[in-house]
Amino acid sequence: MILLPAVDIRGGRAVRLRLGDFDAETVYADSPLAAARAWVEAGARALHVVDLDGARSGEPRHLDELRRMATELEVPIQWGGGLRSLDDVSAALGAGADRVVLGTAALRSPELLDVALELGGAERVLVAVDVRGGSVSVSGWTERSEVSAEELVERLEARGVERFVHTSVDRDGTLEGPDVDAVRRLATAMRGRLVVSGGIGSLGDLEALRALGLTNVGGVIAGKALYERRFTVAEGNAALERSRGGAPTPR
């Protein structure tokens, strides 16, 4: 299990939202590249980067930032936000993303998902399972569907998806801890691998996820907790690695 520091981009700056609310924004760095570089220099082995403007508008807005990160930083980059066409997916992979995260497109355009899987392969395509109030949210967390996380994952695994990112929108940016029960339910109901996000606020939260002993939970995303120095990247890495007694690879 690895720690993935989050870099959320809005208006050209590194920010964090609270509960997915675009009106509840905190700016942490004027340069997303500088924020990403700081996490890498602190020991991050991979990054989770989200184009918030893209997620809201429906098309990528910050691929130039991705190119700079991919050129200057030697760690895998997991990139999402506004990837709703094959051209968008291809552009993100071409700009240097090691993996792309599809959200709205995976739920509303299964044919696009199929082609994306053919283009990038199941190793390089993740699907976002963003949950608010028990149902999956789409369109940059601004719309709620009637589909549960378990239903969505079952449907998508049947189409060949092997990797997912689960975010508890109700806890995102609150530092109040992850929804451990929801993670347990989803991970045990699926065959693929899962990255967890939302609510991480302490080393204890990382240890609680580690303690689940779920071998298909491969990573944890942390944003606000790192920016506000609740723990360091090195401490987070150590907390997650203790489950296996050694350092895992980010890929």
Catalogue the active-site residues: 8, 130
Other Cβ atoms less than 10 A from the Cβ of 94: the count is 12
Neighbouring C-alpha atoms within 13 Å toward the C-beta of 50: 23
C-alpha dihedral sign at 117, 119, 122, 123? negative
Calculate the alpha carbon distances from 127 to 11, 91, 161, 181, 236 in Å.
Answer: 24, 17, 8, 20, 24
Distance CA 142, CA 163 (A): 23
C-alpha dihedral sign at 96, 101, 107, 111? positive
Question: Which positions ≥6 away from 226 have C-beta within 8 Å?
Answer: 5, 6, 39, 232, 233, 236
Total number of residues shown for the chain: 251
